[in-house]
Chains A and B, each alone.
Chain A
Amino acid sequence: MSVLLFSLAVFGTSILAGFLGAMTGLGGGVVIIPVLCLLFKVDIHYALGASLVSVIATSSGAAAAYVREGFSNIRIGMFLEVATTLGALLGAYLTAKVTGNWIGVIFGLVLLYSAWASLQKLQDVAQSATPDPLALRLNLKGSYPENGTEHEYIASHVPAAFGIMFGAGTLSGLLGIGSGAVKVLAMDYAMKLPFKVSTTTSNFMIGVTAAASAGIYLSRGYILPSLAMPVMLGVLVGSLVGVRVLARTEVKTIRIGFAAVIVALGAEMIFNGVTGRL
């Protein structure tokens, strides 16, 4: 295969990954990394680097649309970014300390969890009767418009959410993905934020989290421009189309199909990691 053909094949696959990633809210990275490793036989470190670049692109590209709707909360986002960026530094540092096979196994486990999480119905958790005093002090509250009225909310369990976000950042730095599925744990279940607020705020944060690992990835040489180029452009195109289509379609069947693909990829990553083939 020539470099031209290879780049076109990677570009096409990345469009599909970005499209499915946007439709399911998991991001393009979870699909493109295993496909690059298993199908295109790319070294896992280059796959992580290319995916990380595409994560920054999709997060930034989608942010403008989300911000306009008025759901994202920049204070909560900025506060939790302290945790995710510190976690990302740790994760990016760890990529040099653990072998590619270990990264593959951890990646597979995160894929299996993400598949499960993507099938859960997004539901608002009831707000606590007594607000977290820390949330009051840090001003972690807001309101969002729905059916013509403003709904107010305030964050609960702030320390727990901060800890989980540190973990999400570590996974993002270690695996070159956005780890949106873990963020839902912190913002929906711990902070009990309305899901529209948590989804859009999480997307807002992903780019900054990934930028924290990007400096380390770059200096280690994980970001190969010739590979990152088709992956970044493809995922960006795919996700922009995906977000448009998402607004007009019933996605349940797509979600189930995508979850099945992710389970298969996750199982194969674990198998390849355990048998030392990555």
Chain B
Amino acid sequence: MAGEKEHGLEMAMGRMLQIGVTIAALVVLVGGAMYLAQNGGSLREYEHFHAATPATTTISGIVASAKHLEPRGIMGFGILLLIATPVCRVIFGVVGFAILRDRLYTAISLIVLGVLLFSFIAKR
């Protein structure tokens, strides 16, 4: 039955989301614990918006900072994993609908994926 296969796709999506959010939360938790242990931040940084550095605003910058085991970089990396989770869900949709031979919804999923990827390459 097509219905059962579809429910299988839904279950796979749900499980993937759960695993993604768990890993992301654990990484953020580790980075947060390190950040608070070092106690290096200042409360002032929250109050007024200030120009941010590539270490917190670009994917490559965050990854590089996390590699150096900077607490902010690790928290940022966890947040990147979290943002990647729904993107993976859409990729699951593309593949899943292709397996179900549903061309229309493979195309619709590809459009959503395109919009998501555009938001990461668009400059402001």
A-side residues, CB < 8 A to B, are 1-4, 6-7, 40-43, 45-46, 53, 56-57, 59-61, 63-68, 70, 72, 74-75, 78-79, 81-82, 85-86, 88-89, 92-93, 96, 138-139, 207-208, 210-216, 218-221, 223-230, 232-233, 236
Counting from the closest, the 9 A-B pairs by CB-CB distance are: A221-B52, A67-B14, A225-B75, A215-B119, A215-B120, A207-B86, A64-B14, A64-B18, A60-B17
Q: Can you name 6 A-B residue pairings with CB atoms under 8 Å?
A: A56-B82, A56-B83, A211-B119, A221-B49, A224-B46, A230-B32
Q: CB-CB < 8 A to B18: which residues of A?
A: 60-61, 63-64
CA distance A48 to B124 in the complex (A): 16
B-side residues, CB < 8 A to A, are 6-7, 9-11, 13-15, 17-18, 20-21, 24-25, 28-29, 31-32, 35-36, 39-43, 45-49, 51-52, 56-58, 72, 75-76, 79, 82-83, 85-87, 89-90, 93, 102, 104-105, 108-109, 111-112, 115-116, 118-120, 122-124
CA distance A193 to B39 in the complex (A): 50
CA distance A93 to B82 in the complex (A): 21
CA distance A189 to B102 in the complex (A): 28
Q: Given known contacts A221-B56, A225-B31, is B46 in contact with A2 (CB within 8 Å)? A: no
Q: CB-CB < 8 A to B118: which residues of A?
A: 89
Q: Chain A: interface secondary structure? A: helix
Q: How far is the CB of A209 from chain B (nearest CB, A)?
A: 8
A74 near B9: Cβ-Cβ < 8 Å: yes
Q: Given known contacts A56-B82, A85-B116, A225-B72, is B93 in contact with A78 (CB within 8 Å)? A: yes
Q: How far is the CB of A105 from chain B (nearest CB, A)?
A: 18
Tell me the total A-B contact number using a CB cutoff of 8 A: 192
B15 near A64: Cβ-Cβ < 8 Å: yes
CA distance A81 to B122 in the complex (A): 19
Q: CB-CB < 8 A to A7: which residues of B?
A: 32, 36
CA distance A179 to B111 in the complex (A): 22
CA distance A272 to B82 in the complex (A): 32
